[in-house]
Amino acid sequence: MKNYVSIEYIKNKMEILFESPDKKYLKLVSFLALYLKSLLFIFENPEIDIKEKEIFDEWFEEKGKQYLNDLIEVVQRYGKHVENFDAVIDYYMFYLEDAMENNDSYEIIDWLYEIFKSVKNRLLERINVGKGLDLNEVTKFEFTFQEKLDNINENVFETCEINAGFYLY
């Protein structure tokens, strides 16, 4: 198997996070271990074209690293202010594990592309601003309290529009 950038980068991040005294990182390390397991499944799967594997690795080099670093920064800065932190991470792990159990290569690939960004956004949505969090810190991610409310409302309506038929029956 070719030595992919994404695998080495995630291994290094996991080692650094595992050594941290902050216990919030242990859940993140578990999440990254599952992500790495999923990556290895894809990269070792002979049914997946080598070109597709290389495209994913190029994407990871260009965007995925930054998404991962943003997620780690959110956990570091705001992890203690996130309601149900473990549950948010577990939610994404459940769906990635489900795709792995079903050997659904294409669903796994879809999750691998967007999961870091999705987890970061979900954690930001769940920040409990009532627990002494300085709202000026949140604006670094272009996320004021009002934008947070607008974003949540927008996502609710968007989700309802997309999944309306599913939820009706």
For residue range 73-117, what is the model confidence (pLDDT) as tens digits? 999 888 888 888 899 999 999 999 999 999 999 899 999 999 999
Question: 146 and 117 in one domain?
Answer: no
The domain total for the chain is 2
Sign of CA dihedral 88, 67, 74, 162: negative
Question: 57 and 95 in one domain?
Answer: yes
Would residue 168 count as lying in a domain?
no
Distance from C-alpha of 134 to C-alpha of 130, rounded to nearest angstrom: 10
Question: 114 and 80 in one domain?
Answer: yes
Question: 152 and 97 in one domain?
Answer: no
Would residue 58 count as lying in a domain?
yes
Question: 102 and 155 in one domain?
Answer: no
Taking the complete model, does pTM exceed 0.85, yes or no? no
